[in-house]
């Protein structure tokens, strides 16, 4: 089964008390969420030293909100999981919390926020957890109501985990349809772990997208990768009747679920003459 | 829920509701918490607010004493005014109660200070 949380249960059920507790106890989660929020704030390009009113979409336990507070901003958070919001109450975050589903639209009057951030929440909109859910419609409703609730020249930055290219395309096309300008910024595109996707949406006319982190050495990495691929292909299968060949064959049989003797130091050895 | 949030919250996500603003407050428990006073933030946020809605909301939960009904035209320099606005906007919190949509009459419960704006399948547009 896939490891992606979106494939396991709807967000209001997946983020139960056990899952919510991780967000107060697991220092790794706290650190990563903090770093991603910092980067979101950087991408928001807010006026310097001005306290702003921000919207946190999928605020959860308020980890991202804490970072917003540290930067001197006030925030209002939306989340669908009441267990996560309970944790936010426990942590005594300063922001105000609202239990709502972002796919039903952002329930605010026009022009009230100076910016919006969202950390690891957007990918949930691709799910159809109920019969009545239509992901494309929900995305459009979300983006159009968000567009309305932002003040002009405000930005919205979403860190998210897309599953494939199609999702990226759908996301940007629906955001453009709702009136936003912008696109996806990919930080550290060549790293499996540090790679992060940020959807940067702008309301006030098109401006150049911010530069992604860790891309200047792209060319050299590209070359290394292709050379490694080539040498891998050249090596090919191990020589027949060798120990390596035998081990590979046994491994293959194991994967097929066939009965296979365990690998020992005797595997692939010639019998001695005494037998 | 703080009154600044109430001043921005609508029920326009409901099917058939056009503006859904302002939501009426019925509070059974109101608490006051200390929040640091930030005059810069308050004077930035005042032009964005619907002051009449804020005043009525404050009155409906019994915290309007001393709050002027209209915005002082030179509010940036009036610290007393900013302090009063700060108290009503950020320190007064509705803990328990419910919000009512002005158009459909739908009630949204508030518990532990969190308004529940979740909609049922039939209510979604």
- Tokens 């019925």 label which residue? B26
The answer to whether the CB atoms of B125 and A105 lie below 8 A apart is yes
List the single residue in B with minimal CA-CA distance to A73.
B41
Q: What is the pLDDT of residue A273?
A: 83
Question: CATH code for B3-116?
Answer: 2.20.25.10
Domain boundaries, chain A: 5-202
List the single residue in A with minimal CA-CA distance to B93.
A96
Q: Which residues of B touch A50 (CB under 8 A)?
A: 40, 44
pLDDT band (50, 70, 90) for residue B42: very high
Query: For B37, how many CA atoms within 13 A lie in the half-sphere containing its CB?
Result: 11
Cβ of residue A99 closer than 8 Å to a chain B Cβ? yes
Q: What is the pLDDT of residue A232?
A: 53
CB B61 within 8 A of CB B27: yes
**pLDDT for B53-112, tens place per residue?**
999 999 999 888 888 888 888 888 888 999 999 999 999 999 999 999 999 999 999 999
| C-alpha B4, offset from chain centre | 5
User: Which of A86, A98, A109 minimises the CB distance to B117?
Assistant: A98
CB A149 within 8 A of CB A110: yes
Q: How far apart, in whole angstroms, are the C-alpha atoms of residue A256 and residue A245?
A: 17
To test the contact with chain A by mutation, choose from B10, B106, B119 the residue with the greatest count of A C-beta atoms within 10 A, namely B10
Handedness of CA A43, A140, A61, A193 (dihedral sign): negative
CB A78 within 8 A of CB A55: yes
Q: What is the pLDDT of residue A222?
A: 42
Min Cα distance A109 → chain B (Å) is 5
Q: What is the pLDDT of residue A241?
A: 86
| DSSP annotation of A221 | H
The answer to whether the CB atoms of B124 and A104 lie below 8 A apart is yes
Q: What is the pLDDT of residue A254?
A: 87
In terms of phi and psi (left: phi > 0; alpha: psi -120 to 50; beta: otherwise), the region of B81 is alpha
Neighbours of A49 (CB within 10 A): 7
Min Cα distance A1 → chain B (Å) is 29
Low-confidence ranges of chain A (pLDDT < 70): 1, 216-235
- Scanning B103-122 for CB atoms below 8 A from A yields 112-119, 121
User: Which of A74, A97, A101 minimises the CB distance to B118?
Assistant: A101
CB A14 within 8 A of CB A5: yes
Third-level CATH fold of A5-202 = Rossmann fold (3.40.50)
């Amino acid at each position: 089964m896939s490891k992606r949380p979106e494939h396991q249960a709807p967000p209001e059920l997946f983020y139960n008390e056990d899952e919510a507790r991780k967000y107060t106890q697991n220092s790794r989660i706290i650190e990563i969420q903090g770093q991603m929020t910092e980067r979101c704030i950087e991408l928001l390009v807010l006026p310097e030293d001005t306290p702003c009113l921000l919207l946190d979409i999928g605020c959860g336990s308020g980890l991202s909100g804490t970072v917003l507070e540290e930067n001197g901003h006030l925030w209002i958070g939306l989340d669908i999981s009441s267990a996560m919001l309970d944790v936010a109450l426990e942590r005594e975050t300063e922001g105000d919390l609202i239990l709502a589903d972002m796919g039903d639209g952002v329930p605010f009057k026009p022009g009230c926020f100076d910016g919006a951030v969202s950390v690891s929440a957007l990918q949930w909109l691709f799910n159809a957890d109920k019969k009545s859910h239509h992901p494309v419609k929900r995305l459009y409703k979300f983006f159009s109501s968000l567009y309305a609730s932002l003040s002009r020249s405000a930005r919205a930055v979403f860190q998210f985990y897309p599953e494939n290219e199609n999702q990226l395309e759908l996301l940007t096309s629906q955001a453009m349809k709702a009136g936003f300008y912008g696109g996806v910024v990919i930080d550290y595109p060549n790293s499996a772990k540090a790679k992060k996707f940020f959807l940067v949406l702008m309301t006030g006319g098109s401006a150049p997208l911010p530069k992604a982190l860790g891309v200047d050495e792209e060319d050299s990495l590209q070359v290394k990768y292709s050379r490694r691929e080539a040498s891998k292909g050249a090596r090919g299968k191990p020589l027949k009747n060798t120990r390596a060949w035998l081990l590979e064959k046994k491994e293959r049989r194991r994967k097929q679920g066939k009965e296979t003797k365990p690998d020992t130091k005797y595997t692939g050895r010639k019998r001695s003459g005494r037998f | 829920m703080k009154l600044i949030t109430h001043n921005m919250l609508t029920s326009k996500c409901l099917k058939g509701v056009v503006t859904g603003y302002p939501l009426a407050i019925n509070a059974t428990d109101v608490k006051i918490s200390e929040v640091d006073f930030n005059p810069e933030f308050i004077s930035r946020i005042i032009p964005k607010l619907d002051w009449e809605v804020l005043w009525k909301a404050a009155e409906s939960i019994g915290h309007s004493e001393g709050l002027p009904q209209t915005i002082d035209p030179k509010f940036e320099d009036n610290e007393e005014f900013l302090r009063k606005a700060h108290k009503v906007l950020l320190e007064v919190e509705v803990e328990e109660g419910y919000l009512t949509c002005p158009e459909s009459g739908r009630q949204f419960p508030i518990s532990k200070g969190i308004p529940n704006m979740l909609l049922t399948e039939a209510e979604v547009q």
